Amino acid sequence: MFAMNTGNPSTRARAAPPATSSMASTVISSPTMFDKVIPVFRMFDVAKANEFYVGYLGFKVDWEHRFEGVSPLYMQVSREELVLHLSEHYGDGTPGSVIVVRMKDVHAFHAELTAKNYGYLRPGVQHQEWGHELTVIDPFGNRIRFLQDVQA
């Protein structure tokens, strides 16, 4: 907060009260509060989405939904424990979004992708302080950063 301290108690900046142990224990002690995050990426072309996510990245289509035959498609794709939703619906996701996916053996995944000889992308593994990172960009500008932590 940026209120100027004028001496008047009603205009002084106030900090939020510190969390009490009972507040913290309520959040921590609830094992059913969160399960898993499923990002939603905007897509504009179903054939291109399938070519990229299924053909290139090796996902499978779990399900597809349309309210009517010509309605925008909303679909779920997955590979092992990684689940993504892809949507043609206006307002679902913003092109250019980024997600980070922690994984093991990013180099083997890189070799798998390289062997597919995908015509639109040739990602490399970047060695950063925080890990080995392979970034792919889907046909709609969304980025997935596959990150393998650096072993201590």
Per-residue pLDDT of the chain (152 residues; tens, 9 = 90+): 334 444 444 444 455 555 555 555 555 666 667 889 999 999 999 999 999 999 999 999 999 999 998 999 999 999 999 999 999 999 999 999 999 999 999 999 999 999 999 999 999 999 999 999 999 999 999 999 999 998 74
Ranges of H-type helices in the chain: 21-28, 46-50, 106-115
| Helix, strand, coil shares, percent, the chain, to 5 | 20, 30, 50
pLDDT of 34 reads 82
Q: Where are the domains of the chain?
A: 40-149
Compute the distance between CA of residue 150 and CA of residue 130 in angstroms, rounded to an integer.
6
For 29-50, give one letter per residue: b (16+ CB within 10 A) or e.
eeeeeeeeeebbbbbeeeeebb
pTM for this predicted structure: 0.78
State residue 19's pLDDT score: 52
Domain 40-149's class?
Answer: alpha beta
DSSP state of 43: -
Amino acid at 139: P
